[in-house]
C-alpha cells in the first residue's frame, strides 16, 4: 500500500521551498497517477539537468540524503526549492539571490532572507566562470528558438501518430500512460533552462533601467513582444467570439446560457452555424490540451469538455472590437519601441552609457527571446502530458463500462506501478481508490503554506480555506503588490476563483484571481486590469498582461478575500497599487 497523501523529506542543506510559479501549473494537489507515471520524477530530473546545463553546478551538489531536490511534495502539493534558485542567483555573474526572489517569487511576507541560509560553499568561482560562459554564449548570444521548435515538432509528430486509443488493449493503454519518459525529461529540462534564462534576461533589463533612473520602464521593455504561445489561444477564442457577435442565430444560442450550448450549436444548420462549428473544431484540435492545471493528468481540458472553451467565447462575445488582442498587442509594442529609443538615447549621452549600450541591447534581446522560449516549451510540455491523459481517461472509461469504477477520473487514484495489477483484476482496488479519492478531495479544503522552511507540517494542520479571513478593504484603502505590467486602469472588481466560474465577468472589469495559468488567458482580453494574490514579474499573469497590454499587479496578498466583489478599483500596474475608489 502506497503512503497517501505524498510527503517528501525536506533537505537540511537546501531547506527553503515555495509554491511560487509552480503553483501556476499545479494550483491543486497532484494525483497519485500523475505523481508516479514518471511525470514527477522526470520533472525533477529535468529540473536537475537544467541547473547543470547552465554550469552553475554539477549533479554532485544535490543533497544526496533526500530523493527530490529542485522540487518536492508536501501534502501532495508541489513545491519548488527556493534555496537552489537563490544559489543559482549567487553563481550566475550579474545576478543575485534578491533578483531571483523578485523575478520568480514576488514580494511575499515572512520569507527568510538569503543571508539567513547562506552556505559556506555557495560562492564558487569555478562554477561562476562556467555559468558566465553559459550566460554570454547561450543566454545573451541566442539567435533562434531552434531547440524549442524541435521539441514542438517532436510533440506534433507524437500527436499526429497517436493510435486510435479505442483499439488498444488495456495493457497497451497502461503502457502508454507510463511512456515518453525520455521525452518528458528532455522537455522539462529545456523548459527550466528557458525559465532560468528568461529570468536572467529580465533581470539584466531591470538593472539597466535602474542604473539610469527609469526602473518603471523595465517591464515596458518586454511588453508586446509577440509570438508568446500562452497568449495564442486567446486569438482563436477572439475569432470565434467575433462570429457570434455578427450572427443572430449564434447570439441566440449563447444567450440561452452555456448549459447545453454545444447541442444548440450543433442544431444550427445555417451557413453561420456550419462556419462556427468548423472553426471551433479546428480550434479544439489545436488546443485540446488546454485547461486549468493542465500539467495535472486529472484536469479537465477544452478537448474533454468543449463547453469550458465555449464559456470563454461567451465572455469575449460581449467585448467590443476595439479590444482585439492584436490591437492591444500593437499598442503595447509601440510603447515598448518608444521606451527602447528613449533608453538608447539616454545611454548614448555619456561615455559610460555608450560603453553599456551593447550590454543593454543584448539584455533586451535576451529578455524577449527567452520569454518566448519559456512559454513555447511550457505549451509543448502540456501537449505531451495530454498524451498520457488521453490514455488514462480511455482506461478509466473502460473501468466504468465494466463496473469496476464509478467514474472515469477514479483511474487517477492509482499509482503507476499498480496499473498492471489493476488491468489484470481491478476488483481488489475498489475500496483503496475510493479512500484515496476521499483524501484527495479533502486536500482541496486546505491552504498549502506559500513558503516552507524545512519540513512542512502535516496538511491537516494547515489553515482550511473556509476558515481563512482577511479584513475587507474600504473606500480609499490601498492594497499594494508588485508591478506585473505598467499602466493605470479603472474598473469594477470581479473576483473569479476559477476560469470556468466567470459568469459575472463583464468587459472592462478588473479580474481579481488567486493565481492564473494559460487557461485563464482569454479572460484577460476583456479585462481592464488583472490583480492576483501571488506571483512575480515572471509569472503567467504578468507575462500575458504585458503581451495583451493591460495593467497587472501580482503579489497582492489576499486580493480575492480583501477586495469586495463589485468595488470600483484603480489599478496602477506601474507602482503595484490597487486602490478601492468606491464600494
Q: DSSP letter at 285?
A: H
Query: How confident is the model over 237-285, as pLDDT tens digits?
Result: 999 999 999 999 999 999 998 889 999 999 999 999 999 999 999 999 9
How far apart (Å, rounded) are the C-alpha atoms in residues 46 and 278?
A: 39
pLDDT higher than 70, residue 108:
no
The answer to whether residues 305 and 288 touch, using CB atoms and an 8 Å cutoff, is no
- Cα angle 271, 275, 279; round to 5: 175
Domain boundaries, the chain: 16-212+395-440, 478-582
Query: Taking a C-beta distance cutoff of 8 angstroms, is the pair 243, 268 a contact?
Result: no
Q: pLDDT for 489-501, tens place per residue?
A: 999 999 999 887 7
Give the pLDDT confidence score for residue 109 in this predicted structure: 67
> Is residue 62 very low, low, confident or very high in pLDDT (cuts 50, 70, 90)?
very high
Q: Which residues contact 338 (CB under 8 A, 6 or more apart)?
A: none
Position 107 scores a pLDDT of 65
With a cut of 80, say whether residue 358 has pLDDT above it: yes
Least confident of 83-97, 103-117, 133-147, 486-500: 103-117
Architecture of domain 478-582: 3-Layer(bba) Sandwich (3.50)
pLDDT at 306: 92
Q: What are phi and psi of 488, to 5 degrees?
A: -125, 135
Predicted confidence band at 218 (pLDDT cuts at 50, 70, 90)?
confident
Segment 94-105 mean pLDDT: 85
Instruction: Enter the C-alpha cell of residue 202.
Output: 529580465
Q: What is the mean pLDDT of residues 566-573?
A: 97
**pLDDT per position as a tens digit, 500-517:** 777 788 889 999 999 888
What is the per-residue burial (b if ≥16 Cβ within 10 Å, else e) of 369-405?
bbbbbbbbbbbbbbbbbbbbbbbbbbbbbbbeeeebb
Instruction: Say yes or no to pLDDT of 231 above 90.
Output: no
Note the pTM of the prediction, 2 decimals: 0.92
Measured distance between the N- and C-terminal CA atoms of the chain, rounded to whole angstroms: 53
Local structure of 61: helix, strand or coil: helix
* Coil vs helix vs strand at 498: coil
Sheet hosting strand 16-18, strand order edge to edge: 71-74, 77-81, 16-18, 451-453
Smallest CA-to-CA distance from 496 within 547, 541, 462, 450 is with 541
pLDDT class for 288, splitting at 50, 70, 90? very high
Greater confidence (151 vs 94) lies with 151
Residue 25 clears pLDDT 80, i.e. is over it: no
23: pLDDT strictly greater than 80:
no
Q: What mean pLDDT is predicted for residues 551-555?
A: 93
* Residue 225: closest CA among 340, 148, 321: 340
Please state, rounded to an integer, the average pLDDT across all residues of the chain. Answer: 92
| Chain position carrying cell 505531451 | 384
- Tell me the mean pLDDT in the region 300-318: 92
Q: Please give the grid coordinates belonging to residue 419.
A: 496499473
**Span 370-381, mean pLDDT?**
93
Instruction: Name the band, by pLDDT with cuts 50, 70 and 90, for residue 214.
Output: confident
Q: How is residue 94 annotated by DSSP?
A: T
Which residues touch 404 (CB under 8 Å, ≥6 apart)?
426, 427, 429, 430
Residue 327 reports pLDDT greater than 90: no
* List of residues 6+ apart from 255 with CB closer than 8 A: none
**Which of 63, 384, 119 has its CA nearest to residue 71?**
63
What is the share, in percent, of the chain residues with pLDDT greater than 70?
99
Report whether 534 contacts 554 (CB < 8 A). yes
Whose cell is 500575458? That residue is 544
State the residue for C-alpha cell 525520455: 182
pLDDT digits (tens, 9 = 90+) for 78-91: 999 999 999 999 99
Amino acid at each position: 500500500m502506497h503512503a497517501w497523501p505524498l510527503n517528501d523529506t525536506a533537505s537540511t542543506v537546501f531547506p527553503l521551498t515555495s509554491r511560487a510559479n509552480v503553483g501556476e501549473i499545479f494550483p491543486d494537489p497532484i494525483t497519485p497517477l500523475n505523481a508516479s507515471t514518471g511525470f514527477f520524477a522526470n520533472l525533477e530530473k529535468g529540473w536537475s539537468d537544467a541547473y547543470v546545463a547552465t554550469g552553475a553546478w554539477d549533479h554532485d551538489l544535490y543533497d544526496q540524503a533526500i530523493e527530490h531536490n529542485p522540487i518536492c511534495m508536501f501534502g501532495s502539493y508541489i513545491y519548488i526549492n527556493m534555496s537552489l534558485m537563490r544559489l543559482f542567483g549567487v553563481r550566475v555573474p550579474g545576478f543575485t539571490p534578491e533578483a531571483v526572489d523578485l523575478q520568480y517569487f514576488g514580494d511575499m511576507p515572512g520569507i527568510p532572507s538569503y543571508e539567513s541560509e547562506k552556505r559556506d560553499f555557495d560562492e564558487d568561482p569555478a562554477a561562476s566562470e562556467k555559468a558566465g560562459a553559459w550566460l554570454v554564449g547561450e543566454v545573451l548570444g541566442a539567435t533562434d528558438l531552434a531547440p524549442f521548435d524541435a521539441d514542438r515538432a517532436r510533440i506534433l509528430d507524437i500527436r499526429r501518430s497517436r493510435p486510435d486509443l479505442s483499439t488498444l488493449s488495456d495493457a497497451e493503454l497502461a503502457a502508454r500512460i507510463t511512456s515518453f519518459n525520455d521525452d518528458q525529461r528532455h522537455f522539462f529540462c529545456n523548459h527550466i533552462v528557458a525559465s532560468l534564462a528568461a529570468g536572467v534576461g529580465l533581470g539584466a533589463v531591470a538593472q539597466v533601467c535602474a542604473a539610469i533612473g527609469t526602473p518603471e520602464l523595465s517591464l515596458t521593455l518586454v511588453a508586446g513582444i509577440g509570438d508568446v504561445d500562452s497568449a495564442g489561444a486567446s486569438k482563436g477564442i477572439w475569432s470565434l467570439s467575433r462570429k457570434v457577435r455578427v450572427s443572430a442565430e449564434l447570439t441566440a444560442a449563447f444567450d440561452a446560457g452555456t448549459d447545453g450550448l454545444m447541442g444548440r450549436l450543433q442544431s444550427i444548420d445555417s451557413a453561420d452555424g456550419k462556419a462556427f462549428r468548423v472553426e471551433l473544431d479546428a480550434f479544439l484540435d489545436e488546443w485540446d490540451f488546454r485547461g486549468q492545471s493542465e500539467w495535472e493528468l486529472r484536469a479537465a481540458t477544452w478537448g474533454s469538455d468543449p463547453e469550458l472553451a465555449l464559456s470563454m467565447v461567451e465572455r469575449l462575445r460581449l467585448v467590443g472590437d476595439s479590444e482585439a488582442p492584436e490591437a492591444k498587442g500593437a499598442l503595447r509594442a509601440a510603447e515598448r519601441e518608444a521606451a527602447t529609443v528613449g533608453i538608447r538615447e539616454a545611454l548614448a549621452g555619456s561615455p559610460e552609457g555608450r560603453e553599456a549600450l551593447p550590454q543593454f541591447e543584448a539584455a533586451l534581446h535576451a529578455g524577449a527571446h527567452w520569454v518566448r522560449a519559456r512559454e513555447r516549451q511550457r505549451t509543448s510540455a502540456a501537449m505531451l502530458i495530454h498524451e498520457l491523459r488521453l490514455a488514462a481517461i480511455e482506461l478509466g472509461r473502460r473501468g466504468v463500462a465494466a463496473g469496476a469504477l464509478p467514474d472515469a477520473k477514479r483511474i487517477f487514484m492509482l499509482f503507476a506501478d499498480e496499473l498492471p495489477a489493476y488491468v489484470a483484476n481491478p476488483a481488489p482496488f475498489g475500496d483503496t481508490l475510493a479512500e484515496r479519492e476521499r483524501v484527495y478531495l479533502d486536500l482541496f479544503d486546505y491552504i498549502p503554506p506559500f513558503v516552507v522552511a524545512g519540513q512542512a507540517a502535516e496538511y491537516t494542520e494547515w489553515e482550511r480555506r473556509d476558515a481563512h479571513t482577511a479584513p475587507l478593504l474600504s473606500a480609499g484603502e490601498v492594497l499594494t503588490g508588485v508591478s506585473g505590467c505598467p499602466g493605470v486602469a479603472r474598473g469594477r472588481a470581479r473576483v473569479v476563483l476559477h476560469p470556468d466560474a466567470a459568469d459575472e465577468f463583464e468587459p472592462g472589469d478588473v479580474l481579481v484571481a488567486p493565481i492564473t495559468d494559460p487557461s485563464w488567458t482569454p479572460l484577460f482580453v476583456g479585462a481592464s486590469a488583472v490583480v492576483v494574490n501571488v506571483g512575480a514579474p515572471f509569472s503567467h499573469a504578468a507575462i500575458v498582461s504585458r503581451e495583451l497590454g493591460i495593467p497587472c499587479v501580482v503579489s497582492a496578498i489576499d486580493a480575492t478575500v480583501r477586495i469586495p466583489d463589485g468595488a470600483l478599483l484603480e489599478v496602477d500596474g506601474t507602482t503595484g497599487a490597487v486602490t478601492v475608489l468606491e464600494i
